[in-house]
Structure 1
Amino acid sequence: MAKFAVSLKARLLLQDHGKILLLKQTKPNGGNYSLVGGTIERKEFAIQSLIRESWEEAGIKLAEDDLELVHVLHKKSNRAHRIVLYFRAYHYIGSPQSREKKKFENVEWFSLKQLPPKLTGTVRHVLKAYNAGLMYSEMEN
């Protein structure tokens, strides 16, 4: 049986008054809008990873009790599989801002009904599934 790589990631659907927080990537990183989050490190559980990434990327503090798993994405290519856990939160502490200027130009709030055209394909897929009430989806890249 062939071996393949698997990565595990956690992402944040931070909502406030019908809007969702998105990060705007710098041009060298694609220039698209994406969600806060990243790879779950070996020593972490998913929620711990998301709390760390939220502070590192967007300068916000989250509490474990405020995070709810709302979607799981299984994404695959010829070389690897990726499992992404999407957590929703409504409460946070801080003023969202880009703290990783080499990766993200800024943060912006968008209505779930009026998302930016330059949204990554993965985020567009996940938000569509999430808005449809699906807990799980799959996609290939």
Structure 2
Amino acid sequence: MAKFAVSLKARLILQNHGRLLLLKQTKPNGGNYTLVGGTIERKEYAARTLIRESWEEAGIRLEKNDLELVHVLHKRSSKEHRIVLYFRAYHYKGSPESKELEKFENVEWWPLKELPKNLTGTVRHVLKAYNAGQLYSDMEK
């Protein structure tokens, strides 16, 4: 049986007054819009990852009680299986700003009904599944 790598990630769906918080990637990183989040480190749980990444990437503070698991994505390629846990939050502290300027040129609020055309395909897939009430989806990488 062939071995393959597995990676675990956590992402944030942060909503405020009908808007969604998105990070705008720098051109060398794709130039698309994506969600706050990252890889779950060896000694972390998913909620802790999201709390850390939210501060590191967007300068906002979250509490564990503010996070609710709303979607799980299984993304697969020939070399890797990636499991991404998506958490929703409505409450946060701080003013969103890009704190990793080498990766993200800006943090922006977008109306849920008018999301940018250059939203990553994965985020677009997940938001469609999430809005349809699906807790789980999968896709090829």
TM-score, normalising length: structure 1: 0.99
Q: Measure, in 1, the Cα distance between the counterparts of 2:112 and 2:135.
A: 17
Q: Is there any run of 5+ residues in structure 2 with no aligned partner, and where?
A: none
Q: CA RMSD in A?
A: 0.4
Letter aligned with residue 109 of structure 1? W
- In 2, Cα distance between equivalents of 1:111 and 1:43: 35
- Residues 63-82 of structure 1: pairs in structure 2 closer than 5 A: 63-82=63-82
Q: Does 1:13 align with 2:13?
A: yes
Any idea what the Cα deviations from partners look like across 1:40-96, whole Å, max 9, x if unmatched? 000100000000000000000000000000000000001100000000000000000
* Pairwise CA distance, 1:97: 0.4
Equivalent runs, 1:98-117 vs 2, <5 Å: 98-117=98-117
In structure 2, C-alpha distance between the alignment counterparts of 1:138 and 1:58, rounded to whole Å: 27
So what's the TM-score if we normalise by structure 2?
0.99
The residue that corresponds to 1:126 in the other structure is 126
Separation in 1, partners of 2:10, 2:106:
20
Between the aligned partners of 2:119 and 2:107, the Cα distance in structure 1 is 13
Partner of 2:52: 52
Identify unmatched segments of 5+ residues in structure 1. Answer: none
Secondary structure at the residue paired with 1:130?
helix
- Report the counterpart of residue 94 of structure 1 in structure 2: 94
Structure 1 runs (4+) greater than 6 angstroms displaced: none
